[in-house]
Amino acid sequence: MARYDNYTNKEMQAVTIARQIKDGQIAIVGTGLPLIGASLAKAVYAPHCYLIVESGLMDCDPIEVPRSVGDNRFMAHCGVHWTNATYVGFQANEWRHDKKRMIAFIGGAQIDPYGNVNSTVIGDYHHPKTRFTGSGGANGIATYVNTIIMMQHEKRRFIEKVDYITSPGWIDGPGGRTRVGIPENVGPQMVVTDKGILKFDEDTKRMYLAGYYPSSSPEDVIENTGFDIDVSRAVELEAPDENVIRLIREEIDPGEAFIKKPVEE
């Protein structure tokens, strides 16, 4: 008989994503863990949320896990297919009318204490050690939409200063976004990692540990963060229900496209 009490950190990360999406919200998702989490939210936590992707597909409800934002599995079960320009305009319009119903998920290779994300280059921009695919739609999303950032929690990723700002966070603290000419009333809300949730202090805009997984600890987070981080407010997060893990493994991602099942002994 299959076990569902042996959840992995990636499954816990997907569940944590799902718990952040509220009923009635519009969630901009890509593929991978954000899609697993958003699909789980729609199935369990927020049945009336709306999933959209940057290719212009709106109100998606895929019955199989898509492999990209242009996958037919997205297209077959969506409300409408907009042009990219219309999709970007929709983001800007939500911001212009100060709507709070949109949340977006982005990721990257590096992040700093203020939520600035690098998905462009490691090292000097003109003579890089590593060059990545870059922004895609993430810069526009981070400019106009409240974001939840997905990262694996490693010291080489959580650093004091990113090599390149692909997607703006709170820049350098209070008023930072205004100083560089982007909206101040939106920005990064939290970082969801394979160790817990990190949020941003309302006054300083600096990252702090808000919650850690039962498999982690504040000490584990400190050890894997490349800058000083406040853990005094951290609480242990609730472990996922076994039925939620069953949904991930048997219905949402049965082919293990993005989350591998643990090997049962």
For residue 122, the cross-strand partners are 130
Report d(CA 94, CA 92) in Å as an integer: 5
CA 260 to chain centre: 19
Report d(CA 151, CA 224) in Å as an integer: 12
The continuous run of DSSP H or E covering 129 comes out as strand 128-131
Kindly give, in sequence order, each residue whose CB lies less than 8 Å from that of residue 189, ignoring residues fewer than 6 positions away.
103, 146, 147, 148, 199, 200
For residue 167, the cross-strand partners are 117
Q: Tokens for 36?
A: 């697993």
Are 77 and 60 a contacting pair, CB within 8 Å? yes
Are 112 and 161 a contacting pair, CB within 8 Å? yes
Report d(CA 170, CA 241) in Å as an integer: 34
Kindly give, in sequence order, each residue whose CB lies less than 8 Å from that of residue 220, ignoring residues fewer than 6 positions away.
195, 212
Residue pointed to by tokens 């944590």: 16
Q: Give yes or no: 54 in active site.
A: yes
The continuous run of DSSP H or E covering 94 comes out as helix 84-96
Of 11, 54, 94, 184, the active-site residue reads 54
Active-site amino acid positions = 54
